[in-house]
Amino acid sequence: MRLFLLRHGQTHGNVSGQLDTAFPGLGLTDLGQRQAAAAAHALGDEGIGAIAISTLLRTAQTAAPIAADLGLTPVEHDGLREITAGDFEMRGDEDAVLGYLGTIAHWLEGDLERPMPGGETGEHFLSRYDEAIASTCAAGVDSALVVSHGAAIRTWVTHRANGEHAPIHEGLHNTGCITLDGNLDDGWTVANWGREPIGGAWLDDPTAPDPTGDDPAQSSGS
């Protein structure tokens, strides 16, 4: 089976540098809408038979163009939402961003019992994401699109996939896409790590702070 793990398009939170993880979350910017349309064009011929999204607004908006093109109805999974920011929610100051990314960096190093301040542990995050991926695989299709979030996708791939790009060593920009091959029984291998927007690097916005698009392993202070 092939999984396309697509990060959502740019949001107003990405532009302002805020840690926006709570329901329903901020919507896409105009650039984010263009990124979503370009992603639909880029993925349209990949034989995608199912689309899974998180419960946050930005993933539904990102999936809408390709779902319309393919005649598919995206299935919501709460487990695909972003890693909960807890006490850092909607903050963009340096202490909050370093606290959030630093906690995730500890998870990447194996300390999965460490909680995000005011939020979930690494164990809880992986469990709920595993359940969502398993449910998506149960659709029985050869290829599925999962529209999710930057920190969530990279953290899950680091712990659950093999390949030269795992563990994580680079970021994932808006509508960047990680492609995995495999299955639930044999595991997953990273076939491609597309850091830039899948519709083309010209759709990137290097001026946006976008804290969840960077490499958390480089922000831990450890």
Instruction: Please choose, from the candidates 144, 209, 217, 147, the residue with its C-alpha nearest in 3D space to the C-alpha of residue 175.
Output: 147
Let me know: does 147 contact 62? Beta carbons within 8 Å. yes
Tokens of 196: 């830039």
The set of long-range contacts for 67-72, using a CB threshold of 8 Å and a minimum separation of 24, is: 68/40, 69/40, 69/44, 70/44, 72/48
Residue 169 appears among annotated catalytic residues: no
Residues 162-207 have pLDDT tens digits of 876 555 567 899 999 999 999 999 999 999 999 999 998 889 998 8
Residue 8 appears among annotated catalytic residues: yes
What's residue 171's pLDDT? 83
Give me the mean pLDDT over the 33-54 stretch: 98
Let me know: does 148 contact 54? Beta carbons within 8 Å. yes
Give me the mean pLDDT over the 12-21 stretch: 95
Q: What domains are there in the chain, each with its CATH number?
A: 9-141+163-180+199-216 (3.40.50.1240)
Catalytic member of 82, 149, 159, 173: 82
Q: Look over the chain and give the mean of its residue pLDDT values, rounded to a whole number.
A: 92
What's residue 201's pLDDT? 85
Residues 64-122 have pLDDT tens digits of 999 999 999 999 999 999 999 999 999 999 999 999 999 999 998 899 999 999 999 99
Give residue 219's pLDDT band: very low, low, confident or very high (50, 70, 90).
Answer: very low
What's residue 221's pLDDT? 29
